[in-house]
């Protein structure tokens, strides 16, 4: 089965396997001990740190190995905020950050801190000017990812870093998705990443803190890893993570060019082979291996299962694939369609033939899901321009809206009643895709849910 979910995790790189096996022989002892076995373990740990630091673009003594990328982000956010408590208690984050950053922001808010969220454009990109405008009094830390994990959009880290530097505010960059493809633009103060994203072992993260950045590790402080990652180091896993990062970097330029061409093919072909589909994410400023699209009138979870039956492993940000039944916060911040959402992230070595097979299978999968959701028109109401979709999950409200539209004269307004939170995103996105006018939403005056108003333009 072609595995097209590289943005979630990758299998162990062959170099990681070799390094892990070799390090198991010599990396079992305590590197803090002065005996021969301890010195051997220390040499392995120091060499891994130098290798990883070279790839990150920092000094070895600025880099800490953590137990995961999430732990690196949580530690980085908490440590930087604590170190700059006297400067202020306001955390600035983009609206499309990884949930690990948003969870850290929520913890900061619950502890009495302030959080400022920066919006993005429809491509998922943060405007450096918006960040600069948020750096007023009390700003202690800015968090902006180098590239988005759901849609692949690269952020203008260099420009954002310049604005932060001018304001004297440190910038933490989540480089989990981009680090395998090259170093992050210079100017950042803290950087976090996760080894399983590039084919290293799970359970290894990186946290780099530049010299001069005020940082106060959470207590109790351990003597290991500069007090930033307490506990005994998993030296074999750390060695494998560093070795595989160096290996993928050596192949990155050639593989990026090859995968970028395949992704461009998917971006161009999907709207041609599947009607009513929106490709999302910035078309130019993007990672080479990620493409995301959303399909009208399709259930995301059902679509993932249909593609799985066709032999393809992909992921989704649709609300129907989420335990909370709410659309992805990334898609919501971008204001794009969430229903029938599919993220394709190609691993290194993806064959052109597999991409062609995916493009051939996708129309069948979408058609089967749409056929299963081919609901009849809404039962008649006193008002023929009222669609009562209360109690129905998206994409049903959008399907019922689409079936009602032809019955409305041009210029008339259709009201859709829905209590599904995804409708707040999907109905405006449907209007944009179909050239209709979205007039807004308001509480349902006659009962539960929300009333969405759409004017037919054509």
- Token pair of 43, please? 């040499």
Using H for helix, E for strand and C for coil, what is the string for 396-439? HHHHHHHHHHHHCCCCCEEEEEECCCCHHHHHHHHHHHHCCEEE
What SS3 state is found at 115? strand
Q: Angle CA(168)–CA(144)–CA(252) in degrees, nearest 5?
A: 120
- Answer yes or no: are the C-beta atoms of 397 and 421 closer than 8 Å: no
- Answer yes or no: are the C-beta atoms of 45 and 238 closer than 8 Å: yes
Per the annotation, the verdict on 295 as an active-site residue is: no
What interhelical angle do 14-26 and 235-273 show, nearest 10? 170
Phi-psi region of 350 (alpha: psi -120 to 50; beta: other; left: phi over 0): beta
Q: Angle CA(119)–CA(264)–CA(198) in degrees, nearest 5?
A: 70
What SS3 state is found at 420? coil
Q: Which of 58, 164, 320, 394 is catalytic?
A: 320
Residue of 349, 410, 417 whose CA lies nearest to 386: 417
Residue numbers annotated as active site: 320
């Amino acid at each position: 089965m072609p595995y097209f979910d590289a943005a979630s995790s990758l299998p162990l790189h062959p170099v990681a396997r070799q390094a892990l096996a070799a390090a198991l022989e010599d990396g079992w002892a305590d590197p803090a001990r002065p005996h021969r076995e301890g010195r051997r373990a220390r040499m392995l740990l120091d060499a891994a740190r130098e290798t990883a630091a070279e790839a990150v673009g920092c000094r070895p003594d600025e880099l800490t190995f953590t137990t995961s990328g999430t732990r690196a982000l949580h530690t980085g956010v908490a440590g930087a905020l604590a170190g700059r408590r006297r400067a202020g208690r306001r955390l600035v984050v983009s609206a499309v950050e990884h949930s690990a950053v948003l969870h850290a922001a929520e913890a900061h808010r619950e502890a009495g801190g302030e959080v400022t969220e920066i919006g993005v454009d429809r491509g998922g990109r943060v405007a450096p000017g918006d960040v600069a405008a948020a750096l007023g009094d009390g700003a202690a830390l800015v968090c902006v990812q180098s590239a988005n994990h759901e849609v692949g959009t690269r952020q203008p880290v260099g420009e954002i870093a310049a604005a932060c530097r001018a304001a004297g505010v440190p910038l933490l960059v989540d480089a989990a998705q981009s680090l395998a493809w090259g170093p992050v633009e210079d100017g950042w103060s803290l950087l976090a990443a996760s080894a399983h994203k590039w084919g290293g072992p799970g359970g290894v993260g990186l946290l780099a803190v530049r010299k001069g950045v005020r940082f106060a590790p959470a207590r109790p402080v351990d003597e290991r890893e500069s007090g930033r990652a307490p506990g005994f180091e998993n030296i074999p896993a750390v060695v494998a993570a560093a070795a595989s990062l160096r290996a993928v970097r050596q192949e990155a330029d050639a593989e990026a060019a090859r995968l970028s061409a395949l992704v461009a093919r998917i971006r161009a072909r999907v709207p041609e082979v599947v009607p009513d589909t929106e490709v999302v994410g910035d078309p130019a400023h993007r990672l080479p291996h990620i493409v995301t699209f959303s399909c009208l009138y399709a259930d995301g979870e059902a679509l993932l299962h249909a593609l799985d039956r066709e032999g393809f492993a992909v992921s989704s940000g649709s609300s129907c694939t989420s335990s909370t039944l709410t659309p992805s916060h990334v898609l919501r911040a971008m204001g794009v369609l969430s229903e029938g959402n599919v993220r394709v992230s190609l691993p290194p070595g993806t064959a052109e033939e597999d991409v062609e097979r995916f493009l051939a299978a996708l129309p069948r999968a979408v058609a089967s899901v749409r056929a299963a959701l081919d609901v009849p028109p809404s039962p008649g109401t006193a008002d023929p321009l009222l669609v009562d979709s209360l109690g129905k999950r998206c994409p049903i409200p959008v399907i019922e809206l689409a079936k009602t539209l032809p019955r409305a004269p041009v210029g008339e307004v259709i009201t859709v009643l829905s209590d599904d939170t995804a409708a707040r995103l999907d109905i405006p996105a449907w209007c944009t895709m179909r050239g209709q006018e979205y007039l807004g939403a308001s509480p349902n005056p006659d009962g539960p849910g929300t009333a969405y108003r759409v004017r037919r333009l054509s």
